[in-house]
Amino acid sequence: MRRPVAHNGAVELLAVAALAILVGSVLQRVSGTGVGLVVAPTLALLLGPATGVLVTNATTTVSGFLIMLSVWRHVDWRRFAIIAPAAAVGAVPAALVVRELPAAWLQVVVGGVVLLALGTMFGLPRLPEWKGRLPTALAGAIGGFFNTTAGVAGPVMVIHSRLARWEQRSFAATLQPVFMTMGALSVLTKTLLGAVGADGLPPWWTAPGVVVLVLLGVAVGGALSRRVPVSAARTLAMVLAGAGGALTLVRGLLGVL
């Protein structure tokens, strides 16, 4: 009698995870951000922080690539060329942190990073101007660190865009190859440095499943982008991220205490 319960529980878990990936992909197509914010805390709760963030990283790699194809001409490749290598600098120490931290503490980190990033975005409505290669590189390194530990780089990049007075269309487009690269770097560094063991890796069929969900989300988001305001999609992403981040933080604290 226990097998059906376990099976049903697994099905429900997969359904919630799939819904999070789908919703995150839709929001990212509409507003430029969403996958990491929505998916990371959700999957950290469902799959555990290490595996959940790893799947989030893989998802952002796929979604960033697919959305990049439709906004290619608006990408600022010069800024991307600064951000991408800097992200690698941040990803390596972050992978070591993930490898060494216990699961409960890692959940505290994931939830705390999400809430801190959201609070910073809303708490600083007007930032001083800071342009140049240095702040762009710093944003890449910090974003790479946050993306590898918590699956969330969007808020860091949003803060940088405000400092740099980055035009919105170019910024939203450039985020896609940035997310693609950061996601791939996160998966690569954590795999090579042993941050996620073989027993923590998701089944092989997760990969094609993620691709299908992201394709569907991008298609739905493309249709909705003509009707749904960017601000509304971004607000929804922030609300979902805040709820997921709070739950993840509480669960981690309960495990620590």
Instruction: Collect the ranges in the chain with pLDDT lower than 50.
Output: 1-6
User: Has residue 158 been placed in a domain?
Assistant: yes
Say what the pLDDT of residue 116 is.
Answer: 82
Tokens of 33: 């951000």
User: Has residue 134 been placed in a domain?
Assistant: yes
Say what the pLDDT of residue 125 is.
Answer: 65
User: Has residue 171 been placed in a domain?
Assistant: yes
User: What's the total number of domains in the chain?
Assistant: 1
Residue 35's closest CA among 133, 119, 157?
A: 157
Tokens of 163: 């400092």
Q: What tens digit of pLDDT does each residue of 48-96 get?
A: 888 889 989 998 998 889 889 988 999 999 999 999 999 999 999 999 9
Say what the pLDDT of residue 216 is.
Answer: 92
Q: 18: number of CA atoms within 13 Å, CB side?
A: 16
Crossing angle between the packed helical segments 77-100 and 133-150, to the nearest 10 degrees: 40
Say what the pLDDT of residue 91 is.
Answer: 96
User: Has residue 15 been placed in a domain?
Assistant: no
Say what the pLDDT of residue 35 is.
Answer: 79
Whether residue 166 contacts residue 160, with contact meaning beta carbons closer than 8 Å, is answered with yes
Say what the pLDDT of residue 9 is.
Answer: 60
How many CB atoms sit inside 10 A of residue 93's CB? 16
DSSP H/E element including 66: helix 49-70
**Residue 175 sits in which domain range?**
74-199+233-257
In the chain the first and final C-alpha atoms are separated, in Å, by: 34
User: Has residue 211 been placed in a domain?
Assistant: no
User: Has residue 148 been placed in a domain?
Assistant: yes
DSSP of 136-193, one letter per residue? Answer: HHHHHHHHHHHHHHHS--HHHHHHHHHHHT--HHHHHHHHHHHHHHHHHHHHHHHHHT
Q: Counting Cβ atoms within 10 Å, is residue 165 exposed (0-12), middle (13-18) or buried (19+)?
A: exposed
User: Has residue 2 been placed in a domain?
Assistant: no
User: Has residue 16 been placed in a domain?
Assistant: no
